Structure 1
Amino acid sequence: MIATYGFNATLTARPAMGDRLVELLLTGLNEGSPGASEHCLVYLVSRSASDPDVVHVTEGWTSEGEHHRLFAGEAARALVARIDPLLAKEPEYTDYVPVRGKAAF
């Protein structure tokens, strides 16, 4: 499969909540969660090197429609509801069209 839709999200946690934010974001890879879907080809959680409360998420999807469909589901809504109280401000998003790359974890 090829990723045709993707984005980067920057999330800023409340002070000293970066660890908890990372933990919750990584549950997005658990069975039944959006990141575990065959349509999610990239789900990378990273931290800022200079601020442990700034977390970046990079996602690549087979289509924008599949992303929206999965994020309208109960699992994604529940995850967002658990993440929102940890945030100091609204997430910032940059969308993109993946071209080519590599991921090995």
Structure 2
Amino acid sequence: MSVGYGFNATLTAAPGKSDELVALLLTGLDEGSPGASEHCVVYLVSRSASDPDVVHVTEGWTSKEDHHRVFAGEAAQSIVARIGGLLAKEPEYTDYVPVRGKAAF
């Protein structure tokens, strides 16, 4: 399956909330959640090596339309609604179209 749309989100957790933020973002991989969708090809949650309050989420989707459709669903909206209370500032997004890569966990 190819990736036609992707983005990286940088989220800065409020002090003392980074573990909770990471745990919440990882629920995005649970059955029925956005990261478990057949249209989500990449879902990677990472922490900054230099700032423990900074969390990065990298996502790759089959298309922009598939991403928007999945994120309009109840499971995604529930996660998004809970993220706001854990952040120190607004997330920063960079969109892209992945060309090629590899992930092995």
Structure 2 length as normaliser, TM-score? 0.98
> Could you tell me how far apart the structure 2 residues matched to 1:82 and 1:50 are?
25
> Could you tell me how far apart the structure 2 residues matched to 1:41 and 1:104 are?
13
- Return the letter of the residue paired with 1:81: A
Shift of 1:83: 1.0
Aligned to 1:93: 93
The list of structure 1 runs, each at least 4 consecutive aligned residues, that deviate by more than 2 angstroms after superposition, is none
Aligned to 2:32: 32
The percentage of counterpart residues that share the same residue type is 81
Shift of 1:21: 0.3
Q: Which structure 2 residue ranges, 5 or more long, are not aligned? A: none
> Could you tell me how far apart the structure 1 residues matched to 2:72 and 2:65 are?
11
RMSD (Å), alpha carbons:
0.5
Aligned to 1:14: 14
Q: Equivalent residues in 2 for 1:1-105 (5 A)?
A: 1-105=1-105
C-alpha distance after superposition, 1:11-60 (max 9, x if no partner):
00001111110000000000000000010000000000111110000000
- Counterpart secondary structure, 1:80: helix
Structure 1 length as normaliser, TM-score? 0.98
- Counterpart secondary structure, 1:14: coil
